[in-house]
A and B are shown apart, each in its own frame.
Chain A
Amino acid sequence: MADVAPVPVLEVDRLTVRFGRTVVLRDLSFGVAAGDALAIIGPNGSGKTVLFKALIGAVPYEGTIRWAPGTSIGYVPQKLDIERDLPVTGLDFLQAKAAVTGAPREDARRVLELVSLPGALARQRIGALSGGQFQRLLLAFALLGSPSVLLFDEPTAGVDEPGEETLYAMIRRVQEAAGLTLLLISHELNLVYRYATAVLCLGRQGGSCYGPPVDVLTPERLQEMYGTPLRFHNHQ
């Protein structure tokens, strides 16, 4: 490659995560450069969310995870079971992060605008928000304080409000505007094919593959990974 070597934001080397005797991730190695969009795909139970948890230091692991110095991470979890009647508003939640990270208080308004969540909704208890609105709030929380990397665990279909911009489109918009590095767990293979700069696939038995979408998203690879022939239309 004659290109200028891209700046690595994240380097993962021989990462292994086990819970008791079950090995969830085995000898996983990959790197992410600044501005990249890495899609992580794989069937349920292949350890995609566990990989994110290892990357943020929430589960014990073997091997190395190296973030570039000064990297700040915004994390959007797939789903959160929160108690419906907590007297905490969306704004409380965002301002709490602003207070903890030292971001200016006005940042709460900025991120609410970024994710198109009206202020009136943000002043309600978080338990009163719909699934899609709550996902937007989580995205706003992740974007608060202008992180350099966004980890996005895509919720299963059905949380987007009809007629509104999908979460994925929103992420794309924000990523381009802010020059974010994006790590995305996705089930939408068409979107992955179109937007990801690299794909990491995880199989159920701890196997994995890594490369550009055009190499990874082949019918053979997908069948191997998911165990069944998968219909994947490349709309190009």
Chain B
Amino acid sequence: MTILNAFVLPVAMAAAAGLVGCFAVMRRLSLASDALSHVALPGIAIALALGFNPVLGGLAALLMGTVLIWGLEYRTRLPTDAVIGVIFSAALAIGSMLTSGEELIDALFGGPSRVGVVESVLGIAAALLVIVFIWRARSRLVIALIARDLARTAGVDVARLDLLFLLAFAVTVALGLRYLGVLLMGSLVIIPGVTARHVASSLTTMLAIAVALAVSATLIGESVSPLLHVAAGPLTIVTAAAFFLVSLIVAPKLHGKLSVS
């Protein structure tokens, strides 16, 4: 049981975050997807007020927000990041009206909490679902990323792919709500992706590096936090950011070498 909570769930969550992050970063959604994670807040607040599982509340809000963002994007033809910008600010405002004090801090930054067996198992299943989706959809995602018209002629349903990707993102953020909170989970998705993009020279390498960095940061955050008496969430993100700084130094030396294709 402990191994599920302390190891399998965080590793699965981090791997999903690393994979989703690669495509979020390549689609220039770095800041936007960070913002998208804030959409969870009103859901968490309502769940806390009504006394049910806040992660479920957050997930529900994320899924609704995602479908809303996708629908608005297709109806108005505004860019995804612009639509996310509007929805996320509204969600943050509503969420902070509904929560207060310590609850709000925990929701934003994550906090110590007991995760039940059912929640662990569901979390692991959801993370695996995201991992399998991104891995299977990676070819479609790459073509759509380079040119949506080319994806169309290759038989890809681009609108559907967009929606599925945003949903995978929403599920990934929900997975991290317990550990990292609304503010920090977006960072675990983005920072490893940004780092991998900077260092890698082929797609497979980028995905592998992002997963490795996200998982390492999470495990380091978890295991070192009791020693330093700091919360695991912020430490995880600081670790991920430190990896990024290191990549800035080593990347120029690595360019063209890190390729497995």
Contact = CB atoms under 8 A, between A and B. Distances in A.
Contact of B146 (A82, A91, A95, A151): A82
Contacts of A75: 149-150, 153
A74 B152 CA distance: 10
Contacts, number: 87
Interface residues of B, number: 29
Contacts of B202: 87-89, 91-92, 123, 125
B139 interface: yes
Which secondary structure dominates where chain B touches chain A? helix
Interface in A127-146: 138, 141-142, 145
A123 B260 CA distance: 10
A88 B149 contact: no
A93 B146 contact: yes
B150 A87 contact: no
Interface residues of A, number: 34
* Main secondary structure on A side of the interface with B: mixed
* Residue in A80, A88, A96 with the greatest tally of chain B CB atoms within 10 Å: A96
B205 A87 contact: yes
A100 B150 contact: no
A92 B207 CA distance: 13
Contacts of A57: 152
Contacts of A1: none
B203 interface: yes
A97 B144 CA distance: 10
A96 B259 contact: no
Contacts of B26: 83, 86, 88
A95 B261 CA distance: 10
A96 B149 contact: no
14 contacts: A57-B152, A58-B149, A73-B153, A74-B153, A77-B150, A80-B146, A86-B145, A88-B203, A89-B202, A91-B202, A96-B139, A96-B140, A100-B139, A123-B202
Interface of A: 53, 56-58, 73-75, 77, 80, 82-83, 85-89, 91-93, 95-97, 99-101, 123-126, 138, 141-142, 145, 151
